Amino acid sequence: MPTQLFETYTVVVTNCTMRKRQGNPFARLPVSGVPHSVDELADRWLTHLRRSTKTIQAGELYLGRSIVEAKTVARIVDGALYFASAGVGLVRHTDSVPFYDLTVAHGEGSIASALDTLGANSGDWWAALNRARGQHRPLSSLIAMPKVRAAYVALPSSYIALVGNDLAALDAASRGKLRIFTSRAGDAQINSHLQRYVLPYDERLETLPEFAGTRTEFPQRAMRHFIQKLNGDQLNLPDAIDAVTRSLAPLRAPRMPIRARRTNDEIEALIRKHWTAHEGNSGRLLRFLRDGALVACEQSRFRDIWHNIKADTHSQEAKG
């Protein structure tokens, strides 16, 4: 009996972003008592989310360089782009999703404190969210599909922690499809039997002007370098690892600047002082803060301060 032939395709998996396109009021988890379990928290969130009537394609909701890089890779390999989201689970770029604001990281829209109270972590949340959605390990289920020939997974350490158990559920045969791009912190968190599929990118990538950037989009920049410069989609795993190793070998990791710690008030004063010069652009202001003023500031912390200043600026403009 002849073997049945069917079309195969590549999937590109990246993370959602805090930066989202503005639209209807964003759905946020209402504060109404402490849930008794992470499953109750997930049910509560999805119930609230379903009340949102305004939707948008996932590929249009998320903004930022990491999204641009992932879309570029998906276009080059003619692949299907997926987003891993703490708010809506695993969604394809063409799927309709509501405008929402929810994260497992600390900061605005965070459920981190609720998870801490429940003694749960982000991996527990991912499992509960998908149980509530009637899905079972959506990421490993997607990659294991016979029609998927390759899976390029570009995630920072926080999202490796979110979907790690799901990804680790892949059977041995399906693991060979994986090419994982993450930071050293992400590599340290990933399940031991998946570490061989992590491509050996490191800080030396920052010395290539076209591929330099912030830590938050490092996995996606590395993925684009692999596909665009090394034709990585044509390589088996040993050759892929060798190609990355050889491409980085002549490069030296940049010396990391020593950044001073400042209070939120001090950072806010700096941002306000340089707001007009950078036209209020969050990316340019964060770059100035880190590389110009040499101030240590995590992106989530910066984002909260920047939003407060932006709201205050709009309020003053309205009064004026």
H or E stretch at 271? helix 264-274
Q: CA–CA separation, 181 vs 136, rounded Å?
A: 24
Q: CA–CA separation, 91 vs 89, rounded Å?
A: 6
Question: In terms of pLDDT, which residue wins out, 287 or 198?
Answer: 198
Residues 6+ apart with CB under 8 A from 194: 167, 168, 170, 175, 178, 180
Strands in the chain per DSSP E = 9-15, 55-57, 80-85, 89-92, 96-98, 148-154, 178-181, 260-261, 295-296
Q: What does R_g of the chain's alpha carbons equal in angstroms?
A: 21
Return the number of other C-beta atoms located less than 10 Å from residue 184's C-beta.
Answer: 13
Find the distance separating the first CA and the last CA of the chain, reported in whole Å.
Answer: 79
Q: Is the dihedral of CA 98, 28, 216, 38 positive or negative?
A: negative
Give the length of the chain.
Answer: 320
Question: In terms of pLDDT, which residue wins out, 92 or 26?
Answer: 92
pLDDT exceeds 70 at position 2: no
With cut-offs at 50, 70 and 90, classify the pLDDT of residue 4. Answer: very low
Cβ distance 118 to 35 under 8 Å?
yes
pLDDT at 42: 93
Taking residues 24-53, report their average pLDDT.
Answer: 83
pLDDT at 286: 87
Cβ distance 159 to 142 under 8 Å?
no
pLDDT exceeds 90 at position 108: no
Question: Could you read off the pLDDT of 130-179 as tens digits, one per residue?
Answer: 999 999 899 999 999 999 999 999 999 999 999 999 999 999 999 999 99
pLDDT exceeds 80 at position 316: no
pLDDT at 201: 97
Tokens of 90: 């695993």
pLDDT at 3: 43
Q: Minimum mean pLDDT among 39-53, 168-182, 185-199, 225-239: which range? A: 39-53
Residues 6+ apart with CB under 8 A from 272: 309
Cβ distance 82 to 9 under 8 Å?
no
When the pLDDT of each residue in the chain is averaged and rounded to a whole number, the result is 89
- C-alpha to C-alpha distances, 57 to 1, 15, 306, nearest whole angstrom: 43, 15, 26
Using a 10 angstrom Cβ sphere, with 0-12 exposed, 13-18 middle and 19 or more buried, the burial of residue 213 is: middle
pLDDT at 291: 79
With cut-offs at 50, 70 and 90, classify the pLDDT of residue 31. Answer: low
With cut-offs at 50, 70 and 90, classify the pLDDT of residue 1. Answer: very low
Cβ distance 49 to 87 under 8 Å?
yes
Residues 6+ apart with CB under 8 A from 139: 13, 84, 90, 163, 166, 167
Q: CA–CA separation, 220 vs 236, rounded Å?
A: 20
- In the chain, what percentage of residues exceed pLDDT 70? 94
